[in-house]
Structure 1
């Protein structure tokens, strides 16, 4: 009898629950197994999210963002606090409203989408549209399908630490003009984009303009407290630009822009030796970094211009004096070699070893050079390493520290702790060819009364020897192949510098033609004539 009742009851329950939630079915199954009817947790999902999860998570996130519900949208990401702050700023600080987001077809876990919205501020409004994308990942602890949070989800140009803001622009617009009054625009000279932003930040108020209103990317302050200029995205109300004179040359800038496009991760700076005026600055780098002005890389054998001047000025040798080129040189247990294929020459002069870029010839002088001689030469005669250049925008002023141990020898060939930028090396070439250090400038000193850095420069006899050695290098030495065909008064120095952890050396080259000096650096570019040399030669060829 009890067996019959039991069967009926169970059967009745089963009939009831089969049309209900799976949870009930699970409880009945558990009861039959004698576990008291308590359900265990569902097993955590693992592995990449499937298509349904990608669709569900992405659409839930985009829908909440579209409604302006930052908290809910952030909850669908793997970094909700950071996401909430930026998504909230999207509507409050950036004043972006009437948002419509249209998702596209997913490719794997990546979902493209289109944003159409309106930016409104104090009676001014303009439409905003752009394309973006997001990626859905599995949460490490929640195991949920979540949007992989990064600022670029909100706008493709945002990076870590960035935010969006709308309001009066930090500084009035400027109309930068070159030395001949030609307007310089980022559209025509894209490499100048970051530089023009910095000029606007520094000189917008001094150039007589009126600020406009717009949407900008506000960047995080640098570790040293410096603030990078805002990046404008959309102008709501035009300001009145102020005219800002620069020392740049539109024609030389165009030549520099064209030259760097042929070599990734390249930078070049061009100066006028007789005045120190910067004629062009161009970069072709994925990270957008202005390495031409701010780069901090070992300059390799281009440093031998300063090293040769040090040897001459300290009476250790002359251009025509002895500088033997052995196959190897040892300094404090460190062995130095020359480039592969360079034949030794025990009877070489300094001019011979300079033109052939013999490392061992310079290393062998390490015994005679005082630890601070190279530093003093760089600072006192070439104006480097004192952190006092005022070119009109931020710049790195070079670093040639007093060396000790193996670095004494390494510094003579531009390795060790020596760091320079292309602008530093262009200035070195200008000083070597004129004898006078003229701090490079990109904004005329008179505009804001800046006092330039000063150095005593070189003696006429040293200049004559350096010019002769650089001319020989350009005509028959290591730079001859790339300088071929350039007429007039020319000179050059090649260089390659090894960097820790990188398979290829950095390519360096500096040269002059008449009253134009240029220096280029290409990271991982190989030898000086492989990449940096053609850039400089092209600029010199088209700068006349």
Structure 2
């Protein structure tokens, strides 16, 4: 029998069904009805008249607060009924008026105007959304294709709307000098301030307000405020941030899409700035998990020096290629080989092959041990004050052992991690980054051995050379004399360009930036870091 044709017996009569579950070509099928006659069953995309009729009935029921009725016009009535019920009961949204716009095929944009009322306080609510009408796979009816975003565009699966007293009091976050930090003035701080409020709202001395919020399915994600009905009294929350450095960071990342930057105070580990320029709102500056490219050579050089395998002034030849366990590694295009290079020279020129040639000199876990014991990475015990990724430098055998040395392979870092690496290399002391004082909540801060004065002197010398005459010289010009840097570019499968990485320090400020698909370190991340370092600490 031909594919797509089914035969059923209905009341002793053979009925031929043509097509699939309801999304194929338009067909009129015949079946016996209860009266012994025939009834037409439609398949294929809904007609314009069906779209108008279905949306009209759905909107009318929604406006009248008839959640179950409205849900019956969707293809997932149970899920729809749950959210639409919460819309009226938990979110306390009333006086709903839905105004549809002009349909584009089976998609209808619309505007919702309503009132949120709770404990005698009310405010208007207005927003735009859209829905799509599809053919029901079993009912063959024209139905609203149910998505939580139909009810409110920022809702995702499992989210709901709630109006009530805020779980946490509002906070007035202030910088290290007492200047108020708001998400309106510093957009990158939005997710950070929401998280600080979730964690410390009850410790800052404020009183709750009344808000309409998105309560996310992930209980570890702070509620997203949509409308404030009553503000409450904000509690004052001191942070380690610097308003001037934060402003410079916001301006710098705004010039490059998919960019993130973190600035630290090496003498204390305090976070001075965190900024992201991303469409998804993700705090990649703290939570990114990406290969750091050649910025990793700071940690790799420290490993070689601490193991006694190399010194800054010792030999580290830079051949055009190097082979490690059958995998061939190359340098960036245009880098001239140097058979007589020192480690400092290969570091400053960012020679991959020089570091790859040391792969046979280190153990499988050498880099991992250095990262954990001296730089405080990879133990998943940082308590910054908001969520963070603590870096990953796994013990790796095979070609990945060499790849890890140049920041590829299995190594993953965030800009926060690499800023901390730079701070440790500067001072010799690992100070776990913090954004609020641990005295606020008594949390235990991570510790590590740090580096010897001899290792620090060599790392600072190599980073200074990179900033004055190496790959970072162009963007670091004019920032001396107490400064240093390291460039990086990390190749990513499927990307036309590498991820751009750059880390640097000046006086008592260290900063790291990362731009996805940004090219070489000096192309995007470098100018961001230089701008932040110029702002001072």
Considering the TM-score relative to the shorter chain, is it more than 0.5? yes
Map 1:385-400 onto structure 2 (within 5 A). Answer: 385-400=378-393
Q: Which residue of 2 is the match for residue 369 of structure 1?
A: 362
SS of equivalent to 1:42: strand
Structure 1's unaligned 5+ residue stretches are 1-29, 31-36
Of 509, 512, 515 in structure 2, the residue corresponding to residue 522 of structure 1 is 515
Of 53, 66, 70 in structure 1, the residue corresponding to residue 67 of structure 2 is 70
Contact in 1 for aligned 2:509/2:536 (Cα 8 Å): yes
Q: CA deviation at 1:442?
A: 0.3
Of 474, 478, 488 in structure 2, the residue corresponding to residue 495 of structure 1 is 488
SS of equivalent to 1:214: strand
SS of equivalent to 2:274: strand
Q: CA deviation at 1:113?
A: 1.6
Q: Distance in 1 between matches of 2:93 and 2:492?
A: 45
Task: Say which structure is richer in strand.
Answer: 2
Q: Which residue of 1 is the match for residue 122 of structure 2?
A: 125
Map 1:38-53 onto structure 2 (within 5 A). Answer: 39-42=37-40, 44-46=42-44, 48-53=45-50
Q: Which residue of 1 is the match for residue 26 of structure 2?
A: none
Q: Which residue of 2 is the match for residue 248 of structure 1?
A: 241
Of 442, 458, 477 in structure 1, the residue corresponding to residue 435 of structure 2 is 442
Of 316, 319, 325 in structure 2, the residue corresponding to residue 323 of structure 1 is 316
Q: CA deviation at 1:213?
A: 1.5
Are 2:334 and 1:336 equivalent residues in the alignment?
no
Q: CA deviation at 1:154?
A: 0.8
Contact in 2 for aligned 1:194/1:290 (Cα 8 Å): yes
Q: Distance in 2 between matches of 1:283 and 1:140?
A: 43
Q: CA deviation at 1:65?
A: 1.0
Summarize the Cα distance change of 1:102–1:353 in structure 2 as closer, same or farther, 3 Å threshold. Answer: same
Are 2:52 and 1:55 equivalent residues in the alignment?
yes
Q: CA deviation at 1:401?
A: 1.1
Bigger CA drift: 363-372 or 494-503?
494-503
Q: Deviations over 1:378-402 (max 9, x none)?
A: 1111111111111111111111111
Q: Distance in 1 between matches of 2:469 and 2:144?
A: 61
Q: Which residue of 2 is the match for residue 265 of structure 1?
A: 258
Q: Distance in 1 between matches of 2:71 and 2:457?
A: 68
Of 389, 393, 405 in structure 1, the residue corresponding to residue 398 of structure 2 is 405
Q: Which residue of 2 is the match for residue 281 of structure 1?
A: 274
Q: Distance in 2 between matches of 1:78 and 1:506?
A: 42
Q: Which residue of 2 is the match for residue 204 of structure 1?
A: 201
Q: CA deviation at 1:454?
A: 0.9
RMSD: 1.6
Q: Distance in 2 between matches of 1:317 and 1:61?
A: 72
Q: Distance in 1 between matches of 2:299 and 2:280?
A: 30
Are 2:149 and 1:156 equivalent residues in the alignment?
no
Q: Which residue of 2 is the match for residue 483 of structure 1?
A: 476
Contact in 1 for aligned 2:495/2:517 (Cα 8 Å): yes
Q: Which residue of 2 is the match for residue 24 of structure 1?
A: none
Q: Distance in 2 between matches of 1:134 and 1:404?
A: 52
Q: CA deviation at 1:488?
A: 3.4
Q: CA deviation at 1:41?
A: 4.3
Q: Deviations over 1:156-205 (max 9, x none)?
A: 22122211011111101111000000000011011110110100010000
Q: CA deviation at 1:141?
A: 4.0
Q: Distance in 2 between matches of 1:143 and 1:192?
A: 48
Q: Distance in 2 between matches of 1:527 and 1:75?
A: 55
Q: Distance in 2 between matches of 1:336 and 1:76?
A: 60
SS of equivalent to 1:357: coil
Q: Which residue of 1 is the match for residue 338 of structure 2?
A: 345
Are 2:187 and 1:185 equivalent residues in the alignment?
no
Of 425, 428, 436 in structure 1, the residue corresponding to residue 418 of structure 2 is 425
Summarize the Cα distance change of 1:142–1:483 in structure 2 as closer, same or farther, 3 Å threshold. Answer: farther
Contact in 1 for aligned 2:264/2:511 (Cα 8 Å): yes
Task: Say which structure is richer in helix.
Answer: 1
Q: Distance in 1 between matches of 2:63 and 2:510?
A: 54
Q: CA deviation at 1:435?
A: 1.0
Q: Distance in 1 between matches of 2:108 and 2:203?
A: 46
Q: Which residue of 2 is the match for residue 474 of structure 1?
A: 467
Count residues in correspondence. Answer: 504
Q: CA deviation at 1:112?
A: 2.0
Contact in 1 for aligned 2:41/2:140 (Cα 8 Å): no
Contact in 2 for aligned 1:255/1:543 (Cα 8 Å): no
Q: Distance in 2 between matches of 1:135 and 1:541?
A: 51
Q: Which residue of 1 is the match for residue 27 of structure 2?
A: none
Select the structure of larger CA radius of gyration. 1
Q: Which residue of 1 is the match for residue 221 of structure 2?
A: 228
Q: Which residue of 2 is the match for residue 297 of structure 1?
A: 290
Contact in 2 for aligned 1:316/1:368 (Cα 8 Å): yes
Are 2:100 and 1:103 equivalent residues in the alignment?
yes
Q: Distance in 1 between matches of 2:404 and 2:78?
A: 48
Bigger CA drift: 278-287 or 65-74?
65-74
SS of equivalent to 1:367: helix
Q: Distance in 2 between matches of 1:149 and 1:390?
A: 40
Q: Which residue of 2 is the match for residue 414 of structure 1?
A: 407
Q: Which residue of 2 is the match for residue 309 of structure 1?
A: 302
Of 133, 157, 162 in structure 2, the residue corresponding to residue 136 of structure 1 is 133
Bigger CA drift: 316-325 or 64-73?
64-73
Moved over 6 A (4+): none
TM-score, structure 2 as length reference: 0.91
Contact in 2 for aligned 1:264/1:522 (Cα 8 Å): yes
Contact in 2 for aligned 1:439/1:453 (Cα 8 Å): yes
Q: CA deviation at 1:257?
A: 0.7
Q: Deviations over 1:331-372 (max 9, x none)?
A: 111111111111111111101111111111111101010111
